Chains A and B, each alone.
Chain A
Amino acid sequence: GVSQRSINSFFAPK
């Protein structure tokens, strides 16, 4: 099935 990714798996902390 599809799973919800989290936003910080795409954008790294600055």
Chain B
Amino acid sequence: MFEGRLLQGSLLKKVLEAIKDLVTDTNFDCSETGIALQAMDSSHVALVSLLLKDTGFDHFRCDRNLALGINLQNMSKMLKCAGNDDIITLKAEDEGDTITFMFESPNQDKISDFEMKLMDIDSEHLGIPDTDYQAIVTMPSAEFQRIVRDLSSIGDTAVIGVTKEGISFSTGGDIGKANIVCRQNTNVDKEEDQTTVEIHEPVSLTFALRYLNSFTKATALSPQVTLSLSKELPIVVEYKIEKMGFLRFYLAPKIEE
């Protein structure tokens, strides 16, 4: 059987909110090392990769590898019934066709069990090669969210450029143009407010803002976001999940024909 008890249940709620509009159905791959998920959006432009390590759970048991086929909208409906401070336990039998979500209130005076039907999903896993990215930028996740949202009101695509000075986001549309530059800034008091640029070579790529906007639904998971870019490769937008792993989004660039 599989069982995972997560003291900070809100993390799972946040993960679902971050991906439920991008991916419809996906397998949660459970093994003794944790829970992993990889799924493309329906247009096959973006890829989501989630890792929740066993060590981040208060209790974790997985006797044999299981692929739990889940409709994310339905799982989101179930998790919305958990309080933000609740402990969430996931349970599934090896041969079962359901998953149980148990919610425990912080002072243990309310215990809820929700059972959800699983589905059979043929999932195709893509191999993501280890890449030495030309540019890696870490910045406040709320700032990234703000920039992407602001640019979305002006254009459909953004050019993201990184030089040793910083990262720039540009767009254009019927009403005009916009360009935002965030400079490397390591002299701020709080580490989470820093913007750091690690660069081997300047890089500039074009992406659909609609997807970037969707990724920023993960902002609540982490105060910082890391953007990794290389010429003619998908951008990686990574939100680290404290003590547990990460939620990464890969987005294919738009490329000049």
- On A, residues with C-beta under 8 Å from B are 1-14
Residue B47 interfacial (CB < 8 Å): yes
B127 beta carbon closer than 8 Å to chain A:
yes
Enumerate chain A residues within 8 angstroms of B128, measured Cβ to Cβ: 11
User: Which residues in A have their C-beta under 8 angstroms from that of B255?
Assistant: 2-3, 5
The answer to whether A6 and B45 touch across the interface, beta carbons within 8 angstroms, is yes
- Chain A interface: which of B6-14, B89-97, B246-254? B246-254
Contacting pair B125 A13 (CB below 8 A): yes
B160: CB under 8 A from chain A? no
CB distance from B18 to the nearest CB of A (A): 18
Count of A-B residue pairs with CB < 8 Å: 57
Least Cβ distance of B116 to chain A in Å?
27
Known: A5-B253, A11-B128, A14-B125. 16 other contacts (CB 8 A): A2-B206, A2-B257, A4-B45, A4-B254, A5-B45, A5-B254, A6-B43, A7-B40, A7-B250, A7-B251, A10-B234, A11-B234, A11-B250, A13-B124, A13-B125, A13-B126
- Determine the chain B residues whose CB is within 8 A of the CB of A11 once the complex forms: 47, 126-129, 234, 250
> Are B257 and A7 in contact, with the CB atoms below 8 A?
no
Q: Does the CB pair A8–B157 fall under 8 Å?
A: no
- B23 CB, nearest partner CB in chain A, Å: 12
Contacts of A2 in B (CB 8 A): 157, 206, 254-257
| Residues of chain B lying within 8 A (CB to CB) of residue A4 | 45, 208, 252, 254
Instruction: Give the distance in Å from the alpha carbon of A10 to the alpha carbon of B129 in the complex.
Output: 10
B251: which A residues are within 8 A, CB to CB?
A: 7
Q: For A1, A5, A7, A10, which residue has the most chain B Cβ atoms within 10 angstroms?
A: A7
- Nearest neighbor of B159 in chain A, beta-carbon distance: A2
Tell me if A14 and B126 are in contact (CB < 8 A): yes
